[in-house]
């Protein structure tokens, strides 16, 4: 492992973050023969899979599509145990990658980057760590993750609560004993649902504080046998290409037929087959009109609502847990496992915050408009300042000392979601205006972006140039295209982290490019083949 003492060094490239993108970026930079260093705030690799170790954390992507494709040896060695691997397995996988390719020797752990400044005169980035150490590099890759800055609710009286508060994205490594405890969970998104359904059977009593119910899909998660794995491996040579050509980075595409090509009965049968797949295929592998056509979406939303209601005996509960005021698929659709049944097992209460809002935290619990609910533990499953958060909280300054936070406060702009005008030689993964920020199976887009960034760095060096930066027009063009595509869909009409609505004061715009992973990749490839004509090389 690299040590903090050596941080005064100069590197060809500094990478911030040792998650899925950062690890692969280091591997690729080494392939180019560059001197590279990763700084990582955590004590180990894994990014989102290092921090989100809450009970029930599990990947909603099928495991064999949620992996690196660059090493046949790795592909042949790693055995996924089930269709949707739980957090410990994915974390083990990323550790295995770090060990196998000897990546740790160029990673400094437990080191948070506070800022990075571009020195125009010398054409270098100076990176500063939280303890004041500095290092310089020609290129900077912000592999800081799209979901790495947790958002905590700010209710009055929080500091006075005498129990314990956890955020799911900062979960301790030691197991928590919930036995006999009164536990409150705030939030019913993908994370809240996983943690609720997992710990509810073992707590004394649980209160779920729900503001918006989710549309969900029941997960089908068989364990794999050796035979299953052998069959899956046979598909790897094809899959490693195909995932990049799809709409959302998985191993399937939306159905080529229009919703209206089928009769209502045929549609019902088609949707039922997708439903039984027990995966996100129901969301992004059905009719594309689900995301663009209100009437089609209404029918699909009702299909899901009917199945949620049917799971609950208590009509009042069914009403509260069934979303009715937004369109299916315009927020992230969680997979669930016996989530609805836990509300009828006897020790779980649902508080609908639209009816009885939280007034304040008190020393023994949470006070809503209906009175105090006594609690020992509060779990905030309240989400993230997505895509922009990890970048705007830093003192990240490009040419003329311009702070990215200020630049984006007037409107987020990027070129291809990977670069920003005014920030030469700075690249970003999982950042705004790329599918990777929300509408992609993360490893697919992460690898595509890292490959593109690596090729771009190589091009600059091969040309004997020092720096590359998109023009202001390039950013403007990408923003226009991004918005045009976004506005053809229903997604911006719903408030969620996809639109920045979950963070007070955040720019309200669709955070991720929704034109499709394959289309995006073609546009990125065109930019490369066109020799980055939308950029200034100096
Ligand atoms: P999220 O989708 O943003 O959900 C946060 C939840 O907290 C929402 O129900 C939200 O209510 C609620 N909330 C936030 N602030 C609140 C407040 N002040 N008072 C009351 N309720 C509040 O966050 P997440 O569940 O952590 O998921 C984020 C993303 O992480 C997912 O969409 C997914 O992409 C990823 N993820 C993936 C997996 C997986 O692959 N299995 C698992 C977990 C997460 P409102 O909706 O009303 O704002």
Residue 342 phi, psi dihedral angles, 5° rounding: -65, -25
335 Cα nearest atom in ligand 1: 41
Cβ atoms of 130 and 111 within 8 Å: the answer is yes
d(Cα 427, Cα 431) in Å, to the nearest integer?
A: 9
- Cα(187) to ligand 1 centroid in Å equals 6
Cβ atoms of 491 and 248 within 8 Å: the answer is no
d(Cα 143, Cα 140) in Å, to the nearest integer?
A: 9
Q: Which residues of 467-503 are buried (b: 16+ CB within 10 A; e: fewer)?
A: bbbbeeebbeebbeebeebbeebbbbebebbbbbebb
Sign of CA pseudo-dihedral 214, 220, 223, 226 = negative
d(Cα 474, Cα 471) in Å, to the nearest integer?
A: 5
383 Cα nearest atom in ligand 1: 23
Closest CA to 204 of 230, 232, 184: 184
- Cα(323) to ligand 1 centroid in Å equals 15
Cβ atoms of 146 and 430 within 8 Å: the answer is yes
d(Cα 354, Cα 297) in Å, to the nearest integer?
A: 24
Cβ atoms of 398 and 422 within 8 Å: the answer is yes
Closest CA to 141 of 479, 391, 462: 391
What does the DSSP 8-state code read for residue 58? B
Where is 100: in which H helix or E strand? helix 87-100
C-alpha angle 24/67/99, rounded to 5°?
55
Structure-token pair, residue 377: 């533990």
Q: How long is the chain?
A: 538
Cβ atoms of 91 and 48 within 8 Å: the answer is no
Where is 128: in which H helix or E strand? strand 124-129
- Cα(461) to ligand 1 centroid in Å equals 42
Mutate to test the pocket of ligand 1, among 212, 366, 383 (most ligand atoms within 8 A of CB): 383
Mutate to test the pocket of ligand 1, among 190, 193, 508 (most ligand atoms within 8 A of CB): 190
Protein residue closest via CA to atom 17 of ligand 1: 153
Neighbours of 286 (CB within 10 A): 23
Closest CA to 197 of 380, 344, 338, 376: 338
Cβ atoms of 375 and 384 within 8 Å: the answer is no
Cβ atoms of 345 and 311 within 8 Å: the answer is no
The domain locations on the chain are: 9-149+385-515
**SS3 of 338, please?**
coil
Structure-token pair, residue 122: 């010398």
Cβ atoms of 188 and 297 within 8 Å: the answer is no
Residues contacting ligand 1 via CB (< 6 Å): 58-60, 147, 153, 186-192, 194, 209, 211-212, 332, 353, 381-384, 497, 502
CATH class of 9-149+385-515: alpha beta
Query: How do strand 10-16 and strand 36-39 relate by DSSP bridges?
Result: parallel
Per-residue pLDDT of the chain (538 residues; tens, 9 = 90+): 555 444 479 999 999 999 999 999 999 999 999 999 999 999 999 999 999 999 999 999 999 999 999 999 999 999 999 999 999 999 999 999 999 999 999 999 999 999 999 999 999 999 999 999 999 999 999 999 999 999 999 999 999 999 999 999 999 999 999 999 999 999 999 999 999 999 999 999 999 999 999 999 999 999 999 999 999 999 999 999 999 999 999 999 999 999 999 999 999 999 999 999 999 999 999 999 999 999 999 999 999 999 999 999 999 999 999 999 999 999 999 999 999 999 999 999 999 999 999 999 999 999 999 999 999 999 999 999 999 999 999 999 999 999 999 999 999 999 999 999 999 999 999 999 999 999 999 999 999 999 999 999 999 999 999 999 999 999 999 999 999 999 999 999 999 999 999 999 998 999 999 999 999 999 999 999 999 999 999 9
193 Cα nearest atom in ligand 1: 25
Protein residue closest via CA to atom 35 of ligand 1: 190
d(Cα 469, Cα 420) in Å, to the nearest integer?
A: 7
192 Cα nearest atom in ligand 1: 25
211 Cα nearest atom in ligand 1: 47
- CA distances for 342 relative to 106, 243, 313, 324, 530, angstroms: 46, 36, 12, 21, 55
502 Cα nearest atom in ligand 1: 48
């Amino acid at each position: 492992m690299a040590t903090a003492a050596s941080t005064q060094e100069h590197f060809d490239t500094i990478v911030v973050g040792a998650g899925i993108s950062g690890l692969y970026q280091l591997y690729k930079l080494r392939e180019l023969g560059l001197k590279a260093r990763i700084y990582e705030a955590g004590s180990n690799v894994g990014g989102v899979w290092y921090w989100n170790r809450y009970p029930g954390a599990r990947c909603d992507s099928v495991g064999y599509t949620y992996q690196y494709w660059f090493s046949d040896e790795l592909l042949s060695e790693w055995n996924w145990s089930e269709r949707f691997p739980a957090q410990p397995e994915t974390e083990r996988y990323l550790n295995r990658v770090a060990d196998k390719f000897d990546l740790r020797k160029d990673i400094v752990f437990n080191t948070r980057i506070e800022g990075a400044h571009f020195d125009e005169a010398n054409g270098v980035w100076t990176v500063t760590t939280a303890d004041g150490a500095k290092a310089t590099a020609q290129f900077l890759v912000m592999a800081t993750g799209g979901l790495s800055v947790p958002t905590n609710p700010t209710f009055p009286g929080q500091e006075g609560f005498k129990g314990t508060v956890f955020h799911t994205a900062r979960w301790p490594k030691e197991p928590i004993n919930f036995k006999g405890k009164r536990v409150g969970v705030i939030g019913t998104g993908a994370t809240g649902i996983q943690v609720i359904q997992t710990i509810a059977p073992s707590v004394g009593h649980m209160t779920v504080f729900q503001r918006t119910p989710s549309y969900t899909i029941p997960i089908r998660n068989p364990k794999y046998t050796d035979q299953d794995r052998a069959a899956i491996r046979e598909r790897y040579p094809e899959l490693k290409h195909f995932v990049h050509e799809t709409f959302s980075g998985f191993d399937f595409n939306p159905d080529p037929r229009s919703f209206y090509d089928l009769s209502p009965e045929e549609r019902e049968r088609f949707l039922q087959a997708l439903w039984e797949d027990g995966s996100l295929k129901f969301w992004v592998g059905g009719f594309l009109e689900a995301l663009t056509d209100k009437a089609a979406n209404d029918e699909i939303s009702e299909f899901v609502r009917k199945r949620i209601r049917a799971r609950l005996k208590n009509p009042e509960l069914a009403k509260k847990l069934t979303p009715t005021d937004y369109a299916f698929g315009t927020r992230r659709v969680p997979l669930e496992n016996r989530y609805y049944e836990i509300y009828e097992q006897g020790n779980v209460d649902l508080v609908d915050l639209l009816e009885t809002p939280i007034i304040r935290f008190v020393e023994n619990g949470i006070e809503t408009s209906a009175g105090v609910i006594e609690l020992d533990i509060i779990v905030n499953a309240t989400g993230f300042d997505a895509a922009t958060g990890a970048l705007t909280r830093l003192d990240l300054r490009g040419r003329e000392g311009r702070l990215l936070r200020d630049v984006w406060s007037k409107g987020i702009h990027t070129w291809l979601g990977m670069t920003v005008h005014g920030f030469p030689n700075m690249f970003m993964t999982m950042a705004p205006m790329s599918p990777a920020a929300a509408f992609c199976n993360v490893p697919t887009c992460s690898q595509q972006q890292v490959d593109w960034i690596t090729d771009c760095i190589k091009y600059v060096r091969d040309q004997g140039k020092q720096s590359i930066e998109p023009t202001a027009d390039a950013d403007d063009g990408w923003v226009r295209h991004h918005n045009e595509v976004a506005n053809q869909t229903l997604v911006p009409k719903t408030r969620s982290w996809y639109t920045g609505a979950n963070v007070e004061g955040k720019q309200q715009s669709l955070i991720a490019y929704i034109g499709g992973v394959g289309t995006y990749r073609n546009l990125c490839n065109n930019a490369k083949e066109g020799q980055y004509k939308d950029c200034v090389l100096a």
